[in-house]
C-alpha cells in the first residue's frame, strides 16, 4: 500500500489581480504558510504559467520548480480544464465558451478548437519537462443538450456523438502515450463524460487507450446521487488524480437534482467547503489507500457560503487529517508463529 501525497491546492479559484494571489511566488508563499505541500497549476492563466514556454524550455521549467521549492512546494499536476472543454463544443454553447479562448479566436469555432487541441498537447510535453505523471482536463461535450431523453433521441445519436468525441481525442491521447503522461478527464456535469456509464462509452470508443484516465471528484457524483465509493471500486485502475471537494444534496418539495434553475446558494445540491458537506471522505481515503493510489489529494475549493481563504486554511488541515499513513505490517503480526511448511501440511491433513 502507498500513502497519498498532500495536501495540494488547485490554484484556479484563487488567482486574482490582488496580492498575494496575483503571481506564482506570492501565491506559493501564501499556500505554504497554510500547510500545503503542492499546487495544481491552471495552464490558461499566464499570470502564473506560460504553457508554450514550459513545453519548449527546460530552464523555464526549472525556474518554476525553484520558485515553488523556495517555499517547500512542488507541482502536483498541470490543468487544461478550459482548453479541454473547447476540444468538443456543441454549437448552442459557442458564444458561452468563447471566453475560454483568446479574444482573437472568438466567433471562430474551428480555429478555437485547433488552438485547444494544441494547448492540451503542449501540456503533455510541459508535464514531461517538469517530471510530472498526469494532466487534468475536461472532455468537452457534443451530446449534453440531449442529456434528458425528451424529445426521444434518434437511434444512433449517442453512438455518433461518442464516435466523434473519440475521433477528436485519440490523436491527443497518442501524444500523451508518447510523452508517458496520463490524461485525466474530470467526470463532470456539462461534459459528455459525466458519470461512469459515459466514461465506459468513451473508453470503448478509444479502444481502451492506456492514457485515458480519470480525475476523481466525489462532489459531482454526490450531486448526481451516484455511488462514488463503488465508482472507486469499479474504476480504480483508471483513477490517477483526486480533487478533494465536498458537496451536499438536500432535496425539497420544490427541487431535486436539476435544481429548478435556482442559484447555487438556493439549489438542493450545492458545493461546500471541506467538512461542511455530506461526502464520505473517510471511506474515500480508505479505498484510495487500499488501492495503492500514489497521487495527490488536491483541494478544489468551491463553496456557495464560505470565503475561499477560510476554505483553504480549513481544507489543508482537513486533508492532512484524512491522509492515511499506510501500515508496513499486519496488526496481528505479534501472534505470528513463523512459516513451517511441514506443520502447515500436517494441519491440512497431508502427508510428507
Q: Is residue 176 part of a domain?
A: yes
Q: Which domain holds residue 232?
A: 5-347
Q: Is residue 112 part of a domain?
A: yes
Q: Is residue 352 part of a domain?
A: no
End-to-end CA distance of the chain: 36
Q: What is the pTM of this model?
A: 0.96
Q: Is residue 218 part of a domain?
A: yes
Q: Spell 226-249 as b/e; 16+ CB within 10 A means b.
A: bebeebbeebbebbbbbbbbbbbb
Cα 179 from Cα 126, distance rounded (Å): 10
Express each pLDDT in 68-85 by its tens digit. Answer: 999 999 999 999 999 999
Q: Is residue 13 part of a domain?
A: yes
Express each pLDDT in 290-306 by its tens digit. Answer: 999 999 999 999 999 99
pLDDT string in tens for the chain (352-residue length): 899 999 999 999 999 999 999 999 999 999 999 999 999 999 999 999 999 999 999 999 999 999 999 999 999 999 999 999 999 999 999 999 999 999 999 999 999 999 999 999 999 999 999 999 999 999 999 999 999 999 999 999 999 999 999 999 999 999 999 999 999 999 999 999 999 999 999 999 999 999 999 999 999 999 999 999 999 999 999 999 999 999 999 999 999 999 999 999 999 999 999 999 999 999 999 999 999 999 999 999 999 999 999 999 999 999 999 999 998 877 777 667 677 888 888 888 898 6
* Domain harbouring 146, CATH code: 3.20.20.150
Total domains in the fold of the chain = 1
Q: Is residue 125 part of a domain?
A: yes
| DSSP per-residue codes, 116-156 | HHHHHHHHHHHHHHHT--EEEE---BSSGGG-S--SPPPTT
CB 232 within 8 A of CB 293: no
Express each pLDDT in 303-348 by its tens digit. Answer: 999 999 999 999 999 999 999 999 887 777 766 767 788 888 888 8
**What cell numbers appear for 74 in the block?**
512542488
Angle at 123 between CA 273 and CA 62, to 5 degrees: 90
Amino acid at each position: 500500500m502507498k500513502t497519498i501525497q498532500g495536501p495540494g491546492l488547485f490554484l484556479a479559484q484563487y488567482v486574482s489581480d490582488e496580492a498575494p494571489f496575483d503571481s506564482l511566488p506570492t501565491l506559493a508563499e501564501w499556500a505554504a504558510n497554510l500547510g500545503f505541500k503542492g499546487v495544481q497549476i491552471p495552464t490558461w492563466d499566464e499570470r502564473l504559467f506560460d504553457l508554450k514556454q514550459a513545453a519548449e524550455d527546460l530552464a523555464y521549467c526549472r525556474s518554476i520548480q525553484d520558485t515553488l521549492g523556495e517555499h517547500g512546494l512542488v507541482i502536483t499536476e498541470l490543468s487544461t480544464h478550459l482548453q479541454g472543454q473547447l476540444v468538443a463544443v456543441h454549437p448552442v454553447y459557442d458564444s458561452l465558451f468563447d471566453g475560454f479562448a483568446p479574444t482573437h479566436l472568438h466567433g471562430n469555432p474551428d480555429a478555437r478548437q485547433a488552438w485547444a487541441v494544441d494547448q492540451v498537447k503542449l501540456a503533455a510535453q510541459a508535464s514531461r519537462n517538469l517530471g510530472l505523471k498526469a494532466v487534468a482536463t475536461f472532455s468537452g461535450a457534443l451530446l449534453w443538450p440531449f442529456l434528458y431523453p425528451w424529445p426521444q433521441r434518434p437511434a444512433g445519436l449517442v453512438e455518433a456523438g461518442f464516435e466523434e468525441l473519440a475521433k477528436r481525442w485519440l490523436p491527443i491521447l497518442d501524444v500523451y502515450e508518447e510523452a508517458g503522461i496520463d490524461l485525466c478527464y474530470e467526470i463532470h456535469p456539462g461534459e459528455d463524460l459525466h458519470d461512469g456509464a459515459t466514461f465506459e462509452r468513451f473508453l470503448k470508443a478509444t479502444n481502451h487507450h492506456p492514457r485515458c484516465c480519470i480525475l476523481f471528484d466525489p462532489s459531482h457524483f454526490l450531486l448526481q446521487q451516484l455511488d462514488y465509493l463503488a465508482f472507486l471500486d469499479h474504476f480504480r485502475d483508471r483513477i490517477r488524480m483526486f480533487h478533494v471537494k465536498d458537496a451536499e444534496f438536500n432535496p425539497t418539495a420544490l427541487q431535486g437534482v436539476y435544481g429548478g434553475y435556482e442559484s447555487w446558494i438556493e439549489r438542493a445540491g450545492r458545493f461546500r467547503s471541506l467538512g461542511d458537506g455530506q461526502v464520505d471522505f473517510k471511506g474515500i481515503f480508505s479505498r484510495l489507500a487500499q488501492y495503492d493510489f500514489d497521487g495527490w489529494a488536491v483541494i478544489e475549493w468551491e463553496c456557495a457560503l464560505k470565503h475561499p481563504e477560510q476554505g483553504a486554511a480549513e481544507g489543508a488541515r482537513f486533508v492532512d487529517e484524512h491522509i492515511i499513513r499506510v501500515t508496513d505490517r499486519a496488526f496481528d503480526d505479534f501472534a505470528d508463529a513463523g512459516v513451517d511448511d511441514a506443520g502447515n501440511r500436517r494441519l491440512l491433513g497431508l502427508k510428507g
